[in-house]
Structure 1
Amino acid sequence: MRANRAANNAHKMNLIKVSSSILRNHSVENYHIFHLDKLEFREIEITNSTFSSIGSRGFIGWATNLTMPFTPKVTIDRISLNGFGSRNRNDNLLDANNNLIEFTMTNSIVTNMPYEDQTVGGRLVRANSDSQIILSNMNMFNLTTGGAEPVDATLQTYVQTSNILNIDLGWNSRTTDLTLPADSPLRSASTTSGPIGDPRWAF
């Protein structure tokens, strides 16, 4: 999704909603999966979906600093994000530059950054430090800078985390079958004691 083709705040959207969807093999390195620079939006809701083998530079990009009449809200729940990040970009999970944002990501799996044969910066998130950014009940593994000497990616101190696991599921950035192993603790790691990630991979 691209929303940067007008002046700052010229395009306005109340709700962007993605549910029960799969996006795969999207190797467009110049953009984020959700490329929202310059967009005045109120809310994004992404649930029960899979994004895999994604060559895009990152997941959500809102990197133009805007004067906003409100603080936008991003809610992400039960997604599987595997194989993303490219072109030496930083802040590959969320790049909100210095904008205020409410960002909550729960019950999700985020794995394999960067995309194969790519390199990225060492940060996962950028936003105004007064933002409310919460990551909880997640599995986050193999998130590095890539290259010959990869370094683990980090989160800024203003990111609130709880119940974050680091379980290697044996996937790479091109894995298409993201089914959770039958005995995986990820099948009971969610806020409701059920599976995390896109629910389709637990059945």
Structure 2
Amino acid sequence: VEEQQRLHVAPTAPHTTALGVTRTVGTDQTIRFGSVRYSTPPGLVGAEVWVRVAGQELVVVADLDVLPTMPVWAAGRAGLTEVARHRLSTPGNPRIDLAHYLDHPQDPTGAPRPPRPRPRSAAEKDFLALGAGAHAWLVEASAAGATRIRAKMAAAVELAALIGDGPVDAALGVAAAAGRFGEGDLTAICDHQATGATAAGLVAADETHSA
């Protein structure tokens, strides 16, 4: 009874020094430690977390009770909880767990998902209606920084009106695979395919075949 009058009430949370150092989760769901970015699960942006080194790993702990909204992945948990664990890395080599970015446009393997062109005008809609080759051509031409893309798209639609959608779409697919986005390339490929040639001898316009 005498001791109870002199003892302080035990804290509800452990001393945070044991949890490491504090970091604030950025808008990209990462924290920085040792000049390296490490990802965290969704729902922690702006929250203060603790990080500590355990062997060769970085452990990230968050207090779920102070979050304004409980993340879906945290259902059934409460209080101080380990939310992420990463292998330690070096500057310039961030550690990103793809599972932390559920809505990101990428495959679980880490490879980006192929872009899906969305027409914004009648001309773009007519071009993409040619087929899969047109889609591939637009994606690759944009990635390669090709010039006068809109004019070349209109020319492809006009060519399709003369010789049909099928041959032009097939030629666009070949042009996308070979990196042929220059003036007259599409017409040349269509003429070449009209002779019965196949894509077996396709040569990509890369540095291997550059003068």
> Normalised by the size of structure 1, how large is the TM-score?
0.16
Q: Greater RCO between the two (CA within 8 Å, min separation 6)?
A: 1
CA radius of gyration, larger in: 2
Give the TM-score of the pair, scaled to structure 2: 0.16
